[in-house]
Structure 1
Amino acid sequence: MKIVLVGYMGSGKTTVGKLLAKKRNLTFIDLDNYIEDSEKKTISEIFKEKGEIYFRKKELYYLEEVLNINKNIVLSTGGGTPCYGVNMNTILSATKNVFYIKVGINELVKRLSLEKEHRPLIKNIKDEEMPEFIGKHMFERSFFYSKAHHTLTTDNTTPEETVETIKSLLV
């Protein structure tokens, strides 16, 4: 069984994924961490040293590698992963259990404002510019996210409730 979680940064993919993996006795993989471990560099370092094109090629390579692992997994993708190249089609062809963890802009602003230092994409965005920045990104990315088999709006749910919903929808 392969379960893939997609959604914007700060949506809770990692939190939900870890909980789900534990409850289902599956292996949890965070794609960004997998890339960093494999490349022996942080995502920020890869972008800085080799550029986005190199990163996106490696991202697809490692995405395919993870999806071809002969294990039952819960995979949390990076927020941008589904939005580049053939990544979303690759994910959809690997499993029927793709979940878009959808969170509203206001909730994302609240969550991400607390994590700016750890998020290179928003590190230098002023707090008052965050809603517009996130809204623009969400608009651009929603086309890809919405291809997931299931969309779960999670603004007012706990990670545990989200896990229960996912468990009830698994194929």
Structure 2
Amino acid sequence: MNIVLLGYMGSGKSLIGKKLSQRTERPLLDLDVYIEENEKKSISSIFSEKGEIYFRKKETFYLNELLKTSKNAIISLGGGTPCFGENMKYIQEDLTNKSFYLQTSLEVLTNRLFKAREKRPVIAHIEDRTLLHDFIRKHLFERSFYYNQADYKIHTDEKTADEISLEIESLLF
């Protein structure tokens, strides 16, 4: 069984993935890292040089590759991955995959992402906290249909990475 982590950027997918990997001794496969390794470019470079459509097509290709070749892994998705093409369908096709939506409040996401926006190509240009808040709110509204298709929803606010990891484990084992 693969454990698939999804949620908005800044929701903790990479951190929770690392914790789960340590606790369960399963390999962590971070889709963004996998894309960067295979494309030999950073996500930011891919976005700026080739555009979002190119990136999303490659993202779908590499997601399918990971889903087909990985067993008993933790797969951490990019924030937009479930929302494009038929990516959620691909995740759900194999019933041994278990998906977890790391649901994080708008306020927490705004605080986390405002501090780290220069590392996030989609929001790097937003220099005002209120504009970022509105941007995230709009995205969460648009993406909630996809995120809510996950097998499980984990509310992450006011929980440590260890608490979230334990909660995920308790739902599986």
Given the alignment of the two structures, is residue 113 of structure 1 paired with residue 100 of structure 2, yes or no? no
2:5 alignment partner in structure 1: 5
Higher mean displacement: 10-19 or 120-129:
120-129
1:26 alignment partner in structure 2: 26
1:44 alignment partner in structure 2: 44
Report the RMSD for the aligned CA atoms in angstroms: 1.1
Secondary structure, in 3 states, of the residue corresponding to 2:29?
strand
Q: Distance in 1 between matches of 2:102 and 2:87?
A: 17
Secondary structure, in 3 states, of the residue corresponding to 1:115?
helix
Code of the residue aligned with 1:62 in structure 2: it is: Y
Count of residue pairs brought into register by the alignment: 171
Normalized against structure 1, the TM-score is what?
Answer: 0.96
- Give the deviation of 1:70 after TM superposition: 4.1
1:72 alignment partner in structure 2: 72
Please list every run of 5 or more consecutive structure 2 residues that lacks an aligned counterpart in the other structure.
Answer: none
Q: State the 4+ residue runs in structure 1 displaced beyond 6 angstroms.
A: none
Please list every run of 5 or more consecutive structure 1 residues that lacks an aligned counterpart in the other structure.
Answer: none
CA offset digits 1:44-77 (Å, max 9, x no partner)? 2112222222211111110011111243210110
1:130 alignment partner in structure 2: 132
Residues 137-148 of structure 1: matches in 2 within 5 Å?
137-148=139-150
- In the alignment, is the contact (CA less than 8 A) between 1:27 and 1:71 conserved in 2? no
